[in-house]
Structure 1
Amino acid sequence: MSEQKKYLGELIAECVAVFIIILFGDSVAAMYSLYDPSPYKTAYWGVCIVWGLGVTVAIYATGAVSGTHANPAVTVALATFRGFPWRKVAPYIVAQVIGGFLGAAVVYALFAPVIEHFAAAQHLDFMHDGAAAGVFFTHPGDYVTPMHSFFVQIVLTGILVFGIFAITCEFNTMAPQANAGALIIGLLVAIIGASAGYLDAWAINPARDFGPRLFCYLAGWGPAAIPSPGNYWWVPIAGPLIGGLVGAGLYQSLLKPFMPRPVA
């Protein structure tokens, strides 16, 4: 296989990976938000599990092609600490955002009648009230300001990338073996959501938020999506990018130097 064809495959795989995550994740968000009674309002762990298993499926589907970054924060951290080529960073991120955009478009096509009914029944406007916006992209929860959410995103994404670096470290003899890492990474995403998701819907991934947000901006949500109330749109981008570097840096400096090395 030529190098150019291989690189094209990597970009397609990154797009498909985020598409899969958003297809399952935004769909379960729709099930949580749009129905009354909701099948998940008293079973929030189910929402977290679906998001996490969406990540697992994405890794199993695309990992052999691109390594399944599926997250700009992961891509930047890998380029900074693990030798991923910087020339590939921007194209990977663009592919990831496109995957999020396309995933949101399919979810909208699936749930459009329900979204319209929800907005009408709740007397909500898409542009001004952001009706059903929580299905697609994130926002601060109750009592949480955008700047506090910025801090939350740094911490949660730091935990995510710290965990990913630990799970995929070649010297970590306690890491899951063979292909089990995909399941553990998915469970890590679910755990983060279950423990802190109500703070701001745990974006922890700029492409997961901005791709669907961009779709919604074009699909009729307008300013409710970008710049969004409180000019929030940049928080799930900048926070995870910083948090990913923090988490990766902590793993590389605190634990990796003490990992056992194979005897020559």
Structure 2
Amino acid sequence: MSDNKRFIGELIAEFFAVLIIIAFGDSVAAMISLYDPNPYVNAYWGVAIVWGLGVTIAIYATGAVSGTHANPAVTLALALYRGFPWKKVAPYMVAQVIGGIAGAALVYLNFSPVIDHYNGLHHLSRAVDGGAAGVFFTHPGLAVTPMHSFVVEIVLTGLLVFGIFAITCQYNTMAPQANSSALMVGLLVATIGASSGLLDGWAINPARDFGPRTFAYFAGWGTAAFPAPGNYWWVPVVGPTIGGIIGGGLYQFLLRPFMPNYSRLTIDGEALEAGSDPILVVDDQAPSVRTAR
């Protein structure tokens, strides 16, 4: 297979990875937002675990092709710290956002009658009131300002990328082995959501918010999506990007050097210097564990 054809396949895989995550995640958001009583009342862990399992399914479906970054913050962190080629960063991010748009469109196809019923019942409009907007994109929760949400997104995405780097580190002898890493990454996403999701919807992924938000803008939500109340639209984009850089750096420089066998890695009988990973080992283990919500 030619390099160009392989690269096209990687972009297609990133598109489908985010589509899968949004298809499951925004659907569970619709279930909790549009139905009264909602099926997850007093059981928010159910919402979190669906998002997490969506990530796991996306990894199993596409990881062998692209590694399933499925998150621009993860892609950037891998380029900074794990040798992912910089020339692929922007195309991966574009494919991820388009996947988010397509995933939101799929959810809308299923739930549009319920959305209209909900807004009609509560005398809400899409553009003016942002009725049912929570199905597609995030917003600050109780007592949370946009700037505080910005801090929250930095912290939560930092934890996410720190965890992904730990789970996929070849020197970490306690890391899960083989395909179980995909499940652990999904559980990491679910744990972040279950512990902090009500703060602001835990975007922790620019494509997860920006893609569906873009779809919603053209589907009638207008200014409720962009720029959003309080000019919030940029928070789930910039916050996770910064958080991913910080979280990845913390693991890479403060914890990873103390992992067993970090001081020496041998490939084909040739010893490498401490920490000098071969470029082809982008994420330190199998290529199917580099994802995030």
Q: What residue number does 1:133 align with?
A: 133
- TM-score w.r.t. the length of structure 1 is 0.99
Q: What residue number does 2:186 align with?
A: 186
Q: For this pair of structures, how many residues does the alignment match?
A: 264
Q: Does 1:11 align with 2:11?
A: yes
Q: What residue number does 1:255 align with?
A: 255
Change (3 A) 1:131 1:83: same
CA distance in 1, matches of 2:241, 2:80: 12
- The DSSP-based 3-state class of the residue aligned with 2:40 is coil
Deviations 1:171-200 (A, max 9, x none): 111100011000000000000000000000
CA distance in 2, matches of 1:102, 1:198: 25
Q: Match for 2:220: what amino acid?
A: G
Q: Match for 1:198: what amino acid?
A: L
Deviations 1:100-147 (A, max 9, x none): 000000100100000000000001111011000000000000100000
Q: Which runs of 5+ in 1 are unaligned?
A: none
CA distance in 2, matches of 1:11, 1:223: 30
Q: How does 1:1-264 map to 2 (within 5 A)?
A: 1-261=1-261
CA distance in 1, matches of 2:129, 2:186: 33
Q: Match for 1:141: what amino acid?
A: G
Change (3 A) 1:95 1:199: same
Q: CA deviation at 1:41?
A: 2.0
- The DSSP-based 3-state class of the residue aligned with 1:124 is coil
Question: Which protein has the bigger helix share?
Answer: 1
- The DSSP-based 3-state class of the residue aligned with 1:59 is helix
- The DSSP-based 3-state class of the residue aligned with 1:68 is coil
Q: Match for 2:79: what amino acid?
A: A
Identity of aligned residues (%): 73
Q: CA deviation at 1:238?
A: 0.2
Q: CA deviation at 1:260?
A: 1.1
CA distance in 2, matches of 1:41, 1:92: 37
Q: CA deviation at 1:253?
A: 1.1
Instruction: Determine which structure has more spread, i.e. the larger CA radius of gyration.
Output: 2
CA distance in 2, matches of 1:172, 1:55: 22
Q: Which runs of 5+ in 2 are unaligned?
A: 267-293
Q: What residue number does 2:290 align with?
A: none
CA distance in 1, matches of 2:39, 2:241: 33
- The DSSP-based 3-state class of the residue aligned with 1:142 is coil
- The DSSP-based 3-state class of the residue aligned with 1:83 is coil
CA distance in 1, matches of 2:71, 2:207: 6
- The DSSP-based 3-state class of the residue aligned with 2:138 is coil
Q: What residue number does 2:286 align with?
A: none
Change (3 A) 1:5 1:120: same
Q: Match for 1:135: what amino acid?
A: V
Q: CA deviation at 1:42?
A: 1.5
Q: CA deviation at 1:263?
A: 7.4
CA distance in 1, matches of 2:133, 2:42: 21
Deviations 1:210-235 (A, max 9, x none): 00000000010000001000000000
CA distance in 1, matches of 2:125, 2:50: 29
CA distance in 1, matches of 2:107, 2:141: 23
Structure 1's consecutive aligned runs of 4 or more residues displaced over 2 angstroms after TM superposition are none
Q: CA deviation at 1:27?
A: 0.2
CA distance in 2, matches of 1:44, 1:260: 38
